[in-house]
Amino acid sequence: MEIETVGVVGAGQMGNGIAHVFALAGYGVLLTDISQESLDRGRQVIERNLDRQVSREKISAEDRDAALARIRTTLTLSDLGQTDLVIEAATERETVKTAIFEDLVPHLKPNTILTSNTSSISITRLASRTDRPEKFMGFHFMNPVPVMQLVELIRGIATDQETFDAMHRVVERLGKTAATAEDFPAFIVNRILMPMINEAVYTLYEGVGNVSSIDSAMKLGTNHPMGPLELADFIGLDTCLAIMNVLHDGLADTKYRPCPLLTKYVEAGWLGRKTKRGFYDYRGETPVPTR
């Protein structure tokens, strides 16, 4: 089961990062999204990030040019059917992901492996909506993809050993490290990380500390490179809320109840860096706490 061509669904923050690392590792990449604007923006981000790697002498200019030459784009989802591996990196909503896989299935080669970059949704359930649950896996990259070294590999109940071994080899070729997780809500990283972020929001909600004091306390007191509220803004508060809801619904434990303040920020459209406002206001030269 040799993989040489990869289809990536979604050219956003995660999708363009995934396309970047695969192209740099020598894979042919076909990137798709629902608008040409999204594809153009995704390619610009890839070019900018590759240029940064060249300037820091992580890669050569020749490596950058070769990687860019390996990335093609398309607005037609069915074009990805001829690739060896498909990685879905669309928004963290199960209905969206399911619709993508159902549209894609009729166009797939018999041996194409399907994966989802979901950070929390059941792999078994997503796989059951396809014609190849045995060739379906969770393939969860960390953000930002070109920098972070970990990939979570999640088997669904039907995933076969051949598929798992093939994906493990892919992770090695990318120069990253695989962590194997069982198919439970939010897997490993977000099962631990998101309740910490949610608790930081509760600490803010209850007036224990303000945004600055909470983030400073965690950075200086526990040596975290980024405070939990700053990290939440970086991830996207809508994504944080979606994962907390998956944990709360899937495990039925009140300790995973999303903080009402997190819900309020999302309802206001204050989703973090991507909307210029979250726990910090990013509209000026330096971020300013909103509480």
pLDDT-derived band at 168 (thresholds 50, 70, 90) equals: very high
The beta-strand segments (E) located in 164-270 are: 177-181
Nearest Cα neighbor of 213 from 198, 196, 230, 233 is 230
Domain ranges in the chain are: 5-182, 191-289
Amino acid, res. 41: R
Superfamily of domain 191-289 in CATH is N-(1-d-carboxylethyl)-l-norvaline Dehydrogenase; domain 2 (1.10.1040.10)
Is 152 a residue of the active site?
A: yes
Burial 168-182 (b: 16+ CB within 10 A, else e): eebbeebebebeebe
φ and ψ of 6, to 5 deg: -130, 130
Q: What predicted TM-score, i.e. pTM, was given to this entire model?
A: 0.90
Overall average pLDDT of the 263-278 stretch: 97
Burial 131-151 (b: 16+ CB within 10 A, else e): ebbebbbbbbbbbebbeeeeb
Angle, CA 242 vertex, CA 239 and CA 244 arms, to 5°: 110
The per-residue pLDDT for range 91-116, each reduced to its tens digit, is 888 999 999 999 999 999 999 999 99
> Which of 16, 117, 190, 198 is the catalytic position?
190
The whole-number pLDDT of residue 173 equals 97
> Do 5-182 and 191-289 have matching folds?
no
The whole-number pLDDT of residue 24 equals 97
pLDDT-derived band at 26 (thresholds 50, 70, 90) equals: very high
Question: Binding site residues, as ranges?
Answer: 10-15, 33, 92, 97, 119, 143, 274
> Helices (H) and strands (E) in the chain — how many of each?
11, 10
| CATH 3.40.640.10 describes domain 5-182 | no
Peptide bond into 287 cis (omega under 30): no
> Which of 119, 120, 122, 198 is the catalytic position?
119
How far apart, in whole angstroms, are the C-alpha atoms of residue 119 and residue 60? Answer: 32
Question: Binding site residues for NAD(+), as ranges?
Answer: 10-15, 33, 92, 97, 119, 143, 274
Overall average pLDDT of the 79-87 stretch: 97
Overall average pLDDT of the 22-36 stretch: 97
